[in-house]
Chains A and B, each alone.
Chain A
Amino acid sequence: MSVGSRRGFLGVAGLAGAGIALGACGGSGGGGTKPRRGGTLRAAFPGAGAKETLDPHAQRQFVDIARHKALFDRLVDLDAALRPVPRLATRWEQRDDATVWRLTLRRAVFHDGHVLDADDVLYSLSRILDPKAADHLARTSLGVIDLAKCRAVGARTVELVLKRPNAELPSLLGMTGTAVVRKGYRDPSRPVGTGPFRFRSFQPGRAFAARRFDEHWDGAPYVDEVRILSAETEARGNAVQAGEVEYAHEMTPTFARLVRGNPRVRIVATPRSGAVGFVLKTDRPPFDDPDAALAMKLLADRRRLVEVVLGGRGEPGNDMYGLGYRYYPRGVAQRERDVAEARRLLRKAGALNTPVTLYTSTAADGFVDAAHLYARQAAEAGLRVQVSTGPPETYFTDLLDRGTIGSHRCGAMPIPTYISERLLTGAPQNVTAWERTDFDGAFARAQALVDEEERAPAYGRLLRTVRDAGGLVLWGHADWLNAVSARVHGVAPAPPNTVDWARFDTVWLG
């Protein structure tokens, strides 16, 4: 039997990302100056104390991920619409219905002079997938890779074999915790990567410094040095206003209002940086009845929630994750508030006279405010929602099995990843307790569709199913707010964890 075209390497991706990257530069602001070399950029992120780590596979907080991004590269990254864009892999091709993938590597140099090869990639994957490393988060999503069957085809070509078909492999390789390390890398305190900056120093919970790496494959950074510092909200805000840092990550709408008109500070807002909402437990009364769940979606006054909780910095949500991202279904009517209908549904479900508890916490900005506002909105239909507040440190774990309604937020990630981590039977973050075997099967089938034209509507149908019958009340899509000093240029709006986010090699000081 000859190897027919179906069995050949199909679906060359790769260059698709270039055009999008250019498109994203439009709103960077302060773009009047020409790029200039030199200087030290200081960026402040919310800190995580002793938890902070230089191990790029033990991803935890944004501050860690930003530091790893300076030192390391991934094979693939994600653009603002969460589409895979080439980084260390210049192209990828799949065959056998997306079970075998071939990745071509670019010529990239590690900070110690070694040239990236296929063995580094295979070593990195085996390190990420190490069964003994409980803190390697990407292990779950990359678990689809059958490591024993993967091989180096040449010095710069890797063949990855999957346990089951998955057309989303490129996106999975672009998630956090997937950095390519040097073969034999063991000691996280001596990071050697291919990233735009070369490691200088690190004090957990405090500071990190790295120097420009001139041989970076994407061109040398403009700034000589980047310092990524840990600081709490108040300190970040003060430091960027006082000119002690040039970049402050994750600022509140209140801060944005405070610095309006301040010539020294600019807010870089990234719309559609994830979703905020409530989760309803669909495995217990009253929300095991889809009517009761739908009523809760109809009760939310989304515009008011966006206005009050997000300070107007966001858009109303339509109970589907991923507005603005690849695969988000088009043409679904915006869900509007309908108190009378909600009341009718609640009565029909027999849920109107039983108070429900909304379990929330200060774990994220706006959670408690949103909970109280939503409780008031529910009261207009005669439903009593009691707000109870839990400890922030363990809230997200507690919520997995506690409560009937909870607070929810989710950063930017590809829609299939959101579904696989949150909406499948046995998924690690299944906060709505949404367990439907037909849904699971439909998702597995969708993921195996090689043709994107077929895959997109399949995912769209899944999102619509959850929108109508599931436990997600996604009332808003928040803007992500960073503050930068007026001296800083080239900061592109980008949802967290995408390619242009926390990217300091393309930034310059004026």
Chain B
Amino acid sequence: MLRYAARRVLLTGAQLVALAVATFLLTALLPGDAADTAFNEQAGPEQIARLRHEMGLDRPLAVRFASWAGGLLRGDLGTSYLGHRPVTAIIASSFGATATLALVTATILLPLALGLGLAMGLREGGRTDRVISAVTLALTAIPDFVLALALVAVFSLRLGWLPSAWVGVESGPALYVLPVAVLLARTVSHFSRQIRAGTRTALHAGYTVQARRLGVPRVPLVLRHVLPNAVVPGVQELARTGDQLIGGVLVVEAVFAIPGMATALIGAVQSRDVPTVQGLTLLLAAVALLLNLVADLVCRRLSPRTEVLR
């Protein structure tokens, strides 16, 4: 187990390094640079060239990467080309909204998906199963942005119950309702179906059948024998749900004008603000990799038999 964990941690580190290089190269491949995008249509080539020099973008690619990587080793993520703010400040000011969004979603997601999954799996084919299945399957099929726009049209514009975006409204829990609902729709559906499948498998497994035959009552049977086995595939799925959340946040932040990391990242890509793109990508990737790492380790702990198989 320890050796496995060490190997996985090393691999995660290597992935991060590869990602930093890849992001840098991909951003360099995009047409234009920060100097081109700075003025929009207002400046001429001379002015742009001067700004490019000021930003140090006329240096070779390798030199720019080396200076960025050197800064990273000293714990310095660099300074945004535009607005001249440190990247750490940009991350700090955008982290809160995204993290809150993700945490609130996760807090609701886990018990909700677990409950729904169990309810479906324990009464397979019953009315509860069919109704929940229909709803969750339908939600899986709707793209995030369509759902977001539909919710805004109904709950903000028609009924006026909830704010449509984080634009004129300063703060308050109401701001989170629609974005979290969108993030939950797909993830709950995926996750609960995974739990449903796990529950079903565990319910029909030999050990459960035997326990039932021995007269173990239903509630302890479910809690002690079905649930632990049902969540194993779920944990793996949870890491994937984490990835999905990061992707969903990109869409949700854009639709609801949430000043989070995704909004900052999209803006940075559009203005070719490489240091900011690098900083945000690395952080988001680190979170995703960490989630997967933890999920893998937990899975192994929950279900050591995979180790024997290897």
List residues of A whose CB falls within 8 A of some B CB.
42, 44, 47-53, 59-61, 134-135, 137, 140, 203-206, 227, 229, 231-232, 234-236, 238-239, 241-246, 363, 390-391, 393-394, 396-398, 400, 421, 427-429
Contacts and interface: CB of A to CB of B under 8 A. Distances in A.
B157 interface: yes
Interface string B229-272: 00000000000000000000000001111010001100110111
Contacts of A61: 40
24 contacts: A42-B167, A48-B267, A49-B263, A51-B37, A60-B42, A135-B51, A203-B259, A205-B264, A227-B168, A235-B255, A235-B256, A238-B164, A239-B257, A244-B164, A244-B167, A363-B41, A393-B36, A394-B37, A397-B36, A400-B45, A421-B44, A428-B46, A429-B41, A429-B43
Contact of B83 (A42, A204, A397, A429): A204
B41 A396 contact: yes
Contacts of B204: none
B93 interface: yes
Contact of A205 (B54, B259, B272): B259
Nearest to B273: A50
A239 B38 contact: no
Most A CB within 10 A of own CB, among B47, B54, B163, B168: B168
A428 B51 CA distance: 14
Contacts of A53: 83
Contacts of B168: 42, 44, 227, 229, 239, 244-246
Given A239-B168, A242-B164, A245-B167, A49 B271 contact: yes
B80 interface: yes
Nearest to A59: B42
Contact of A239 (B50, B82, B149, B165): B165
A238 B259 contact: no
A238 B148 CA distance: 12
Given A51-B38, A51-B82, A134-B54, A397 B32 contact: yes
Contacts of B32: 391, 393-394, 397-398
A242 B165 CA distance: 9
A231 B255 contact: no
A229 B53 CA distance: 31
Contacts of B270: 49, 393
B189 interface: no
Contacts of A204: 83, 85
Interface majority SS on A: helix, strand, loop or mixed?
loop
Interface in B1-56: 30-32, 36-48, 50-51, 53-54
A137 B42 contact: yes
Given A60-B42, A428-B46, 11 more contacts: A50-B82, A50-B90, A50-B276, A51-B267, A51-B271, A135-B39, A229-B167, A238-B152, A238-B156, A393-B270, A428-B44
B85 A393 contact: no
Contacts of A231: 165, 167, 257
B126 interface: no
Contacts of B214: none
Given A235-B257, A391-B32, A428-B47, A244 B42 contact: no
B83 A393 contact: no
Contact of B36 (A235, A236, A394): A394
Contact of B163 (A205, A242, A390): A242
A232 B254 contact: yes
**Size category, B interface:** 35 or more
Most B CB within 10 A of own CB, among A60, A204, A393: A393
Contacts of A427: 44
Contacts of A400: 44-45
B255 A135 contact: no
B48 A397 contact: yes
A206 B157 CA distance: 22
B160 interface: yes
Given A49-B270, A244-B168, A393-B32, A234 B41 contact: no
Contacts of A245: 167-168
A229 B169 CA distance: 11
Contacts of B257: 231-232, 235, 239
Contact of A51 (B83, B93, B156, B164): B83
A378 B124 CA distance: 64
A140 B45 CA distance: 12
Contacts of A246: 168
B81 to A, nearest CB: 9
Contacts of B31: 390-391, 393-394, 398
A480 to B, nearest CB: 16
Given A44-B168, A238-B164, A60 B85 contact: no
Nearest to A237: B164
B55 to A, nearest CB: 9
Contacts of B156: 238, 242
A49 B169 contact: no
A421 to B, nearest CB: 8
A434 to B, nearest CB: 14
B33 to A, nearest CB: 8
A51 B254 CA distance: 17
A81 B82 CA distance: 34
A137 B54 CA distance: 15
Nearest to B51: A134
Contacts of B167: 42, 44, 229, 231, 235-236, 239, 244-245
Given A135-B51, A203-B93, A241 B164 contact: yes
Contacts of B53: 134
B273 A137 contact: no
Q: List 8 tightest A-B contacts by C-beta distance, closest first.
A: A428-B44, A49-B267, A394-B32, A244-B168, A396-B41, A238-B164, A235-B257, A245-B168
Contacts of B268: 49-50
B57 to A, nearest CB: 12
A60 B38 CA distance: 8
Contacts of B276: 50
Contacts of A391: 30-32
A397 B47 CA distance: 11
Nearest to A429: B44
Nearest to B90: A50
Contact of B39 (A60, A205, A206, A234): A60
B80 A50 contact: yes
Nearest to B155: A242
Contact of A393 (B51, B54, B254, B272): B272
